[in-house]
Amino acid sequence: MPFTPATANPLSGGGDPSGQTHFQAPESDEYEAGLTVIGEFDTVESFCRYFNWLKPPSRLERNSNYHLFKSGIKPMWEDPANAEGGKWVLTMKNNPQLLDRCWSWLAMALVGEDLDESDEICGAVVSLRSKVDRIQLWTRSKDEVEKINGIGRKLVKLLDVSEADGIGLEFQYNSDERPVPNKYLSIQSLPQSSYRTSFQGKSSPMAAPGEGPGLPAAPGGAFAGFGVGGGGVLGSGWRNKQQRS
């Protein structure tokens, strides 16, 4: 599990629609050099030893990240396992308790293989930023929309979040390309309120235009590896599982 410390420099001016700060992207070699590998694991017990030792993500320095990835996969777009894929990006603002809870639940689900779809998931990242914090779930592919949307629904159900929590959710490509509008499910951040949706059936705010699918139950597995780098910690994981190149 690698960790990236707070070394990125914000670019002057501008901001994206989600309110995220833009950072100067380091060269891949520079980025990789900034990662600190905390460790690898192949059992739930060894994962828990690492995870319980780490401070929660809300207490990291701004612009830091934790990464948890399968063994042999680097938390970089350039890695062959990530190059043709994308990521679900969950955003939230000024909610440290929700951030810590979601990261903890997601990490445990990855170790328990509760979200894996035919070895589709490569890893996860949690990032602390000055405007919007985010959690990412990286996938190997991006073109099988039904499969990717199914992972997104499982993620929302697993984390028990909704637009009422002030969160946003969208799928992004691991490239400079942007997804076709309305192709993937999304949640637009709304002010917090007492209303809570189940994300099931036609009332689901995650339903794409014309869709109203129910949300499947989340499944259980084994992730392995922790690290820290320019703004975070990386977990490189799931030992004893054959990886596709």
3-state secondary structure 50-97: HHHHCCCHHHCCCCCEEEEEECCCCCCCCCCCCCCCEEEEEEECCCHH
In CATH terms, 2-6+32-237 corresponds, of 3.30.760.10, 3.10.450.50, 3.40.50.720, 3.90.950.10, to 3.30.760.10
Q: How far apart are CA 68 and CA 106, in angstroms?
A: 10
Q: What is the 3-state secondary structure (H, E, C) of 217-243?
A: CCCCCCCCCEEEECCECCCEECCCCCC
pLDDT at residue 78 is higher than 80: yes
Output the CA torsion sign for 23, 27, 31, 34: negative
Among 30, 67, 6, which Cα is nearest to 228's?
67
Say what the pLDDT of residue 14 is: 34
pLDDT digits (tens, 9 = 90+) for 112-157: 888 876 789 999 999 999 999 999 999 999 999 999 999 999 999 9
Whether residue 19 is predicted with pLDDT greater than 60 in this model: the reply is: no
Q: What are phi and psi of 168, to 5 degrees?
A: -125, 155
Domain ranges of the chain: 2-6+32-237
Write down the mean pLDDT value for the chain. Answer: 74
Taking CB atoms within 8 Å and a gap of at least 24, the contacts of 12-19 are 15/131, 18/91, 18/132, 18/168, 18/170, 18/189, 19/91, 19/93, 19/131, 19/132
Whole-number pLDDT of residue 1? 59
**Can you give the pLDDT at residue 190?**
56
CA–CA distance, 87 with 112 (Å, rounded to integer): 20
Determine contact, residues 222/44, Cβ cutoff 8 Å: yes
First to last CA, the chain: 20
